[in-house]
Amino acid sequence: MSHASTHSEPNLNKQSSIGLFEKLDEQQQRVRALYWFGSLFTLIIGAIAISVGSYGVDFSLPMKLLSNVFQTEAPAQSETGILFIGQELRLPRVVMTMIVGAVLSMCGAAMQGLFRNPMADPSLLGISGGAAVAAAAVIVFGGGIFTTWVGAAYVLPSAAFAGSLLSMLMIVRMGYRKGYLSIVTLLLAGIAMNALASTGLGYLSFIADDSSLRLITYWTMGSFGGASWQVVMALLPFCLLSTILIYRQREALNLLLMGESEARYLGINVKRVKNTLLLAVALGVGASVSATGMIAFVGLVVPHLVRKLVGPDYRTLLPGSALIGAILLTASDIVSRLIVAPAELPIGIVTSAIGAPFFLFLLLKRGSVQDAA
Amino acid sequence: MLLKSENLSVSYEKSSVLQDVHFQVEQGEFVAVIGENGAGKSTLLKAISGEITDYSGGITFDGNPLSDYSITALSKMRAVMSQSIHFQYGFTVEEVILFGRAPHDERRSKSLRVIREMMSILNICHLQGKLITELSGGERQRVFLAKSLAQIWDYDGLYGKLLLLDEPTSALDLKHQKEALFEIKQLTNAGLGVICITHDMNLVTAFADKALMLANGHGMAFGPTRTVMNEANILQCFGVKTKVVNIEGIAHPVVVNAA
């Protein structure tokens, strides 16, 4: 190009390309550090979570479990108890916690992109509530379905998925006015949705028998107590599909941050992207809720943290959120088990205790819930 | 012929917004669309950018109906520079311009080469590491222009591509207005077609090769700027008495308010 050049251009150009590489390097280093330290911390926190519990604290348990896998001979008599606890209770619990933490965080990040607002969160908008009502309804009305059918493990996540999808569609329907998405309307719709959900849960607990009632209560506060390999296996396909669908939209999510028109100008089929994301979030949230109940604010806090660490680019925000989400939720679980030991605090209370003040902080920082779109 | 609109009509919920609008843009031509608020300028932009698809009449791009192009194919041929893009998060200038390369299935190194070229053309190399949220209005506008150009840039440069501008100068002070449009005008020399929505009459007389005057959704006049921008047309379109005068030292006619 011959035009629009100045006499100093070659010089400028040279300086800037050096600058470009420096900038990229610094950014890449941050991202790499997040991935490495994130993975390392995931392992460490996982090991701690396996070692700690009401049965006793044993920091050699993770190593014992690992060596037990490679050992053919039966373990010593004195060890079988703790090994069983580790293998059948603590390990699936840690795996489940990490999956749920990762998925909820990615879903939060996806919703914030979808709605173009950093305040969007599955629990705030009533998506988790819808999932919990559907799961509770299956428990109360499902009757014998759980004992008689082989696919029973998938019934609960499927029902919760349907519930979250339905509430998601209602939220979107209410939030959009004349093609324009208003965050105020969206949050109000979330309040209404949550009210509806708690009404539904209230009614279901009223008519439920004792065992169902316990389950419903556990849904409203969130708990990892129900963890087993069976639950993990039921959860996994939903969560895998959800994360894959969301991660595939990482570029589109970046472009959506500039608005739907901009994304469309850049060749994005906005409608398809939105539908995919709605489906993916419903899958992830539904499955998580079916396994652990409502865990609030994870999807709000984690992406925000990751943005502070490595910036808003969805290509790093999504995997970063998955890692940090897994770590934070596992850490919260350890806290919930230790703080009132030998009893357990419901995990939803721990995350809300961190998340609710954070939400208030976000509100205060913004001054008001003004629309940014 | 780069873009041609024939009998273009658009209506929202039975009320007609655009009616039988004719105009065309050649390669390397700067066409201004001018009219009062509500005259249908934005709707016209939406129709030719492919955002509105339910119009009647014909829009052709490179001789083919606009509806024949996929959304991706279209995104490599025309870029839309909006009045302003709101960023909630601090992306760097370089990341923002890289977004423009999204439609191109290419290696990152190639994208980086393209955006570096765009930055040097627009003299914004010094901004690349800065956050978009920290820039001044004029700087942002240049970054968005670079993003739009990066979007339609290919091996032939910008030849045969179309840039749509929506009130490009509304956020800028006088100095930056001139600079931004001068930059864009230069690019038309390389074969870039430009359609610029504006209500600044002197912008039209200064930069546009042709002008389309819209009044109540009708194409009131279309042709070379000097023939369209006359006192009678302006009075009819805007209801304002003006004088179009030649001032010594200024290369183009100037529209002054005569009321």
Q: How far is CA B218 from CA A75, B9, B61, B96, B213, in A?
A: 88, 9, 21, 37, 8
The per-residue pLDDT for A3 is 46
- Mean pLDDT score, A93-114: 95
State which amino acid sits at residue A198. S
Q: Which of B50, B52, B41, B82 is nearest to B69 (CA)?
A: B50
The DSSP code sequence of B118-162 is HHHHTT-GGGTTSBGGGS-HHHHHHHHHHHHHHHH-BTTBTTT-E
Q: Count the Cβ atoms, other than its own, within 10 Å of residue B14.
A: 5
Q: Which residues of B touch A19 (CB under 8 A)?
A: 128-129
Q: How far is CA A349 from CA A76, A325, A329, A339, B255, in A?
A: 39, 16, 12, 12, 68
The per-residue pLDDT for A118 is 84
Checking if the pLDDT of A6 tops 70, the result is: no
The answer to whether the Cα torsion of B151, B153, B155, B158 is positive or negative is positive
Pair A235, A288: CB distance under 8 Å: yes
Q: Taking the domains of chain B in order of start, what are their residue ranges?
A: 3-223
Confidence band for A146, pLDDT divided at 50, 70 and 90: low
The per-residue pLDDT for A57 is 75
Q: Which residues of A touch B72 (CB under 8 A)?
A: 267
> In the block, which residue shows the tokens 């109360």?
A140
Cβ-defined contact of A17 to B116 (cutoff 8 Å): yes
The per-residue pLDDT for A5 is 40
The DSSP code sequence of A248-282 is HTHHHHHHHTT-HHHHHHTT--HHHHHHHHHHHHH
The per-residue pLDDT for A7 is 41
Question: Highest mean pLDDT range out of A61-70, A363-372, B73-82?
Answer: B73-82
Q: What is the C-alpha separation between B258 and B216, in angstroms, rounded?
A: 23
Give me the residue from B71, B87, B92 closest to A267, CB to CB: B71
| The total number of residues written for chain B in this structure | 259
Give me the residue from B95, B129, B151 closest to A266, CB to CB: B151
Q: What is the C-alpha separation between A50 and A48, in angstroms, rounded?
A: 5
Q: Which of A118, A101, A117 is nearest to A49 (CA)?
A: A101
Structure token pair of residue A19: 């600058």
Strands across the sheet containing B30-35: B64-65, B56-61, B3-12, B15-25, B218-224, B210-215, B30-35, B193-198, B162-166, B78-81
Q: What is the C-alpha separation between B203 and B177, in angstroms, rounded?
A: 9
Cβ-defined contact of A267 to B102 (cutoff 8 Å): yes
Asked if A20 is an interface residue toward chain B (Cβ–Cβ < 8 A), one would say yes
The per-residue pLDDT for A24 is 57
Pair B229, B243: CB distance under 8 Å: no
CA of B86: which chain A residue's CA is closest?
A258
The per-residue pLDDT for B223 is 94
Structure token pair of residue A160: 């919760």
Confidence band for A15, pLDDT divided at 50, 70 and 90: very low
Question: Highest mean pLDDT range out of A60-64, A187-191, A324-328?
Answer: A324-328
- Mean pLDDT score, A345-360: 87
Asked if A341 is an interface residue toward chain B (Cβ–Cβ < 8 A), one would say no
The per-residue pLDDT for A178 is 64
Within chain B, strands assigned E span 3-12, 15-25, 30-35, 56-61, 64-65, 78-81, 162-166, 193-198, 210-215, 218-224, 242-245, 254-257
For residue range B133-169, what is the model confidence (pLDDT) as tens digits? 999 888 888 899 999 999 999 877 899 999 999 887 7
State which amino acid sits at residue A129. G
DSSP, collapsed to helix, strand or coil, labels residue A207 as helix
Pair A107, A285: CB distance under 8 Å: yes
- Mean pLDDT score, A69-78: 70
CA of B156: which chain A residue's CA is closest?
A1
Checking if the pLDDT of B33 tops 50, the result is: yes
Interface subset of A 109-128, CB within 8 angstroms of B: 116-118
Backbone angles phi, psi at B172, to 5 degrees: -110, 155
Q: Which of B235, B126, B31 is nearest to A17 (CA)?
A: B126
Number of structural domains found in chain A: 1
Structure token pair of residue B88: 């909630």
DSSP, collapsed to helix, strand or coil, labels residue B30 as strand
The per-residue pLDDT for A162 is 92
First to last CA, chain B: 40
> In the block, which residue shows the tokens 């890449």?
A28
The per-residue pLDDT for A369 is 46
Checking if the pLDDT of A176 tops 60, the result is: yes
The per-residue pLDDT for A230 is 87
Cβ-defined contact of B88 to A372 (cutoff 8 Å): yes
Question: Highest mean pLDDT range out of A63-72, A173-182, A320-329, B78-87?
Answer: A320-329
For residue range A226-275, what is the model confidence (pLDDT) as tens digits? 788 888 998 999 999 999 999 999 999 999 999 888 999 999 999 899 99
pLDDT: which is higher, A103 or A205 = A103
Q: Is A216 exposed, middle or buried (0-12, 13-18, 19+ CB in 10 A)?
A: buried
Cβ-defined contact of A267 to B186 (cutoff 8 Å): no
Asked if A10 is an interface residue toward chain B (Cβ–Cβ < 8 A), one would say no
Task: State percent of chain B over pLDDT 70.
Answer: 99
For residue range B83-111, what is the model confidence (pLDDT) as tens digits? 778 888 889 999 999 999 999 989 989 99
* A8 located within any domain: no
Interface subset of A 266-305, CB within 8 angstroms of B: 266-269
CATH of the domain at A357: 1.10.3470.10
Q: Which residues of B touch A251 (CB under 8 A)?
A: 102
Residue A270: domain span: 16-366
Q: Which of B85, B82, B66 is nearest to B168 (CA)?
A: B82
Q: Which residues of A touch B125 (CB under 8 A)?
A: 12-13, 15-16
Please state, rounded to an integer, the average pLDDT across all residues of chain A: 83
Asked if A3 is an interface residue toward chain B (Cβ–Cβ < 8 A), one would say yes
Within chain A, strands assigned E span 176-177, 180-181
The per-residue pLDDT for A148 is 53
The per-residue pLDDT for A12 is 41
The answer, yes or no, to whether the previous bond of A303 is cis (omega within 30 of 0) is no
- Mean pLDDT score, A31-60: 88
For residue range A198-214, what is the model confidence (pLDDT) as tens digits? 899 889 888 888 878 87
Give me the residue from A20, A257, A373 closest to B94, CB to CB: A20
Cα of B259 to nearest chain A Cα, Å: 39
Confidence band for A218, pLDDT divided at 50, 70 and 90: confident
* A373 located within any domain: no
Is B3-223 assigned to CATH 3.40.50.300? yes
Q: What is the C-alpha separation between B195 and B11, in angstroms, rounded?
A: 22
The DSSP code sequence of A318-329 is HHHHHHHHHHHH
Give kind and range of the element (H or E) at residue B202: helix B201-207
For residue range B176-232, what is the model confidence (pLDDT) as tens digits? 778 888 889 999 999 999 999 988 888 899 999 999 999 988 999 999 999 999 999
